[in-house]
Amino acid sequence: MNILLVDDHAVVREGYKALLNAMLPECTVFEAADGGQTQHVLQVHSIDTLVLDINLAKENGLLLATDFLVKQPSLKIIFFSMFEDCAILQRAMQTGAMGYISKSSPPDTLISAIKVVSKGQKYIERSLAVNLANQLLHADVDIATKLTKREFEIFMATAMRKTRPDIALELGLSTKTVSNALTVIKRKLKTSPSEFTELANKYGYLGKA
């Protein structure tokens, strides 16, 4: 089995690569620091499991995951994140990912997640799963659940301060379609595009500056 670790901190990658090599000697472990490097490794090697940090520098793992899965539907993605917020966990699993664990969890949790996911089963760290179940009963609805996939992409691109023409080009849409979508998003979120960056930061959807 080939595993790819994606994290923008070299010390994190090296630490977990050493752990995986020790605990799963039958596996080959690759590493990448960003979306571009990840895409290159995916093209060159046959990766079975992708361990992906949500909060990469200047990139969002949730959006990257969606793109990776479009190109390689059989890829098994495990989100490995500092975020323990249930709203983000929900959105992460909606991308088609197979697992979600916290960076604060014991090292052997990652090993367990990889073993479970390799069998085609989903894995959510137990404490996070319990919190998610409780939050679904009585918590406020996260912004992402109010938007369609396309609206969320436009919201995130705007939050990253991309222009409407740039968003249109990136997503293969007309500028008018982007403008119309922003009108809908404004109504759904009850806020203006100028506040999208602050809102995305609040919910942990933006990478580190």
> Could you report the per-residue pLDDT of 67-108, keeping only the tens digit for each?
999 999 999 999 988 877 777 888 888 899 999 998 888 888
Domains 2-138 and 143-202 share a fold: no
What is the Cα gyration radius of the chain? 17
**Amino acid identity of 79?**
F
Q: What is the pLDDT of residue 208?
A: 47
CA contacts within 13 A on the Cβ side of 162: 21
Q: Tell me the average pLDDT across 184-209.
A: 82
CATH architecture of 2-138: 3-Layer(aba) Sandwich (3.40)
CATH architecture of 143-202: Orthogonal Bundle (1.10)
Angle at which helices 61-71 and 86-94 cross, to 10°: 20
**Amino acid identity of 134?**
N
Give domain limits for the chain. 2-138, 143-202
The answer to whether 29 and 3 have CB atoms below 8 angstroms apart is: yes
